[in-house]
Amino acid sequence: MGAQLRALRRRIKSVKSTAKITRAQELIASSRIVKAQQRMQAAVPYEREITHALTAVVSNTSKLAHPLMEAKEQPRRAGVLIVTSDSGFCGGFNANILREAEALAGLLRSRGVEPTPYVTGRKGVTWHSFRNREMGGQWVGFSRRPAYTDAKEIADTLIGAFQDENGIDEIHIVSTEFVSMLTQAVVVKRILPLVVEETTEAPAVPLPYFEFEPTAGDVLDSLLPRYIESRIFTALLESAASEEAARRRAMKSATDNANELIRVFTMQMNQARQAEITQEISEIVGGANALADAAAGKE
């Protein structure tokens, strides 16, 4: 019985140590979510303005042709940017992204398009390397705090592959969109080639009128890459916030499970200790009765 008590005490001590670690990770993730949300909000005005400027340029041009806006009739290859995390302890965050990326790859193959993965985050890179899958590009080390230079490096690689005659014909992003502290959704977006949609609805904000010097094409040559960089940067920022939210939720669940285990083990330990005390009392009473019977027999 004593061995069982010692084993239960060791397990309780071990689970308490684990609970302290998961609780600390939960608090760290909670503080980082706020900073990640602030970085997201700081990037919103830039994305809004560059989208507004691009819309104005396209709207003020009657005939528009640009390599980044021309869709091929029979695309052969597609680049898929998969945004994962560098660290673990975030539940099904990476599994959901990779599952959605696999579904997108199956859809592209059904159309006769061969997908080429471009992966950010150590978890995604490790997943593809373990399966010996060739990657068009890989970037690690900034999933928790991405910088604009990281988005620019990724965008330059993707745009270069898109403009290459033997490169890719489409570019898709698979990332996690931050909806709220409790909800993060995996989204798939096509960013190249750009699609121009004609509408008769008036814009929410009046579009400015531009005169181009020398041509609208030269303006788009400078503006479109910045727009792609902005889209990628926004995806990285939302993924960083979603990663911390997922980590906070996973660590809270782990802490709750650890506390429940401590409760169960404590109850088992108390039961074992009570059984041991009861057995000792029974042995003492039995011994006393035996001594009393022996004394009565001598008399």
Is 182 part of any domain?
Answer: yes
Is 257 part of any domain?
Answer: no
Instruction: Reply yes or no on whether 67 is catalytic.
Output: no
State which residues form the domain around 49: 27-249
Count of domains forming the chain: 1
Tens digit of each residue's pLDDT (9 = 90 or more) over 266-277: 888 888 778 777
Going by pLDDT thresholds of 50, 70 and 90, the confidence category of residue 237 is very high
Model confidence at 282: pLDDT above 80:
no
Average pLDDT over residues 163-181: 87
Tens digit of each residue's pLDDT (9 = 90 or more) over 198-236: 555 555 556 556 666 666 667 777 788 888 999 999 999
Is 17 part of any domain?
Answer: no
Is 298 part of any domain?
Answer: no
Mean pLDDT score of the chain: 84
Average pLDDT over residues 232-254: 91
Percent of the chain with pLDDT over 70: 85
Model confidence at 8: pLDDT above 80:
yes
Going by pLDDT thresholds of 50, 70 and 90, the confidence category of residue 130 is very high
User: Rounded to the nearest 10 degrees, what angle do helices 93-110 and 122-130 cross at?
Assistant: 50
Among 8, 12, 83, 90, which one carries the catalytic annotation? 90
Is 183 part of any domain?
Answer: yes
Q: What pLDDT, on the 0 to 100 scale, is given for residue 203?
A: 56
Can you give the C-alpha Rg of the chain in angstroms?
Answer: 31
Is 19 part of any domain?
Answer: no
Is 256 part of any domain?
Answer: no
Residue 209, domain CATH: 3.40.1380.10
Model confidence at 125: pLDDT above 70:
yes
The residue to which tokens 């690689």 are assigned? 157
Is 58 part of any domain?
Answer: yes
